[in-house]
Amino acid sequence: MIVVTTNELQGYRVVKQLGLVRGLSVRSRSIVGNLGASIQIVFGGNISVYTKLADEARAEALQLLEQHAAAMGANAVLAMRYDANEMASAVTEVLAYGSAVVVEKIA
């Protein structure tokens, strides 16, 4: 699966547009993880517990997006974007979305 943030894919032609695809991940840290983050906040710098949380949520959202696109018959996703929100304290929602398409390489 080819996933790009651009509206076009250089060297390929879109032969079919299949529609919007998305992947949604909602994640939270455990009480222990939040305690560890609180300690890191006191000392400043990178809050590795939350960095890991954000990274895992984005990776899962992208994987779900790719699965959704494949189920629709796509071999590529154009104009992929992420959107993230905090739903509650230490609960992160990450949405990956884009346009599912079928592309073929230009000869």
Which pTM value belongs to this model? 0.82
Stretch 63-79: mean pLDDT: 98
- Identify the structural domains of the chain with CATH numbers, from first to last: 2-28+56-105 (3.30.110.70)
The two structure tokens encoding residue 97: 């979305």
Report which residue type is found at 102: V
Other C-beta atoms closer than 10 Å to the C-beta of 80 total 21
pLDDT digits 0-9 by tens, 8-61: 999 999 999 999 999 999 987 655 555 555 555 666 666 677 778 888 899 999
pLDDT at 77: 98
